[in-house]
A = this chain, B = another copy of it.
Amino acid sequence: MVVPLTMDVYKTLREEAFEANLEIKRRNLAIYTWGNASAFDPDKGVFAIKPSGVEYDELTPKNMVLVDLEGKVIDGKLKPSSDTKTHLVLYRKFMGIYGVTHTHSPYAVAWAQAGKPVPVFGTTHADHCAYEIPCTAFMNPEEVKNNYELETGNLIVNTFKNSSLDYSQITMTLVAGHGPFTWGNSAAQSVCHSVILEEICKMALFTVMIEPGAKPLPDHIIRKHWERKHGPDAYYGQKQL
């Protein structure tokens, strides 16, 4: 039995990114090539990301692109996603996240295009985030010109910093006029957060259609729903899961 001379030390990372990108399509978060997910390995300082402009049906673990935190392609024959530098900034600044997803899912895009944060209208939202989903400001012409995708990352990071938001508790944001970016402790979790954000945005739209002056959920109920799923005494789900 022959041992292969070289081993793919990024095998798991590639597979995680591949699976997360497929999930974008399965969950109808993007048509054509309009979404991308990445998986980050903090020990190696490398993330695997979707190649730019390639259809989901043509993706394989092999054609995921490996990029380091300087934006250098470590391995891969294809160009990485055009949004690569946004992912990169999030991995650099939001220490502890291991996955990032960006899509053009229509309800989340609509709130982003309206330039409005999504209020906590109900427990569906509070189960996953105890605060309104922030929406960034628009980027200025200088930033757009310099390094657009990198500045998109900075825009997100500064939106969180300037409003003292905690990216470990608010794992999703809207970029004004653009769409949703989400993150998590794995690529799979980051895409799951994109699914949840889309559902929250859909429900919030329906809510303001029924009642344009709808009020956010009272804070004690927000807090309760968040705590029972994510607090120190959380009791939702199975410990062994």
CB-CB contacts below 8 Å: A118-177 with B: 121-124, 138-141, 144-145, 148, 177
Give the number of times this chain occurs in the complex, counting copies. 4
Contact segment of A4-12, A14-22, A38-46, A102-110: A102-110
Query: Is A114's CB within 8 Å of the partner chain B?
Result: yes
Which residue in B121, B145, B228 is a CB contact (below 8 Å) of A113? B121
Cβ–Cβ < 8 Å partners of A178 in chain B: 122-123
CB distance from A204 to the nearest CB of B (A): 8
Q: Contacts A122-B179, A177-B217, A221-B138 known; A203 to B31 CB distance under 8 Å?
A: no
Query: Is A184's CB within 8 Å of the partner chain B?
Result: no
Whether the Cβ atoms of B124 and A34 lie closer than 8 Å is yes
Measured in the bound complex, the distance between the Cα atoms of B210 and A109 in whole Å is 11
Whether the Cβ atoms of B179 and A123 lie closer than 8 Å is yes
Cβ–Cβ < 8 Å partners of A32 in chain B: 192, 195-196
Whether the Cβ atoms of A115 and B211 lie closer than 8 Å is yes
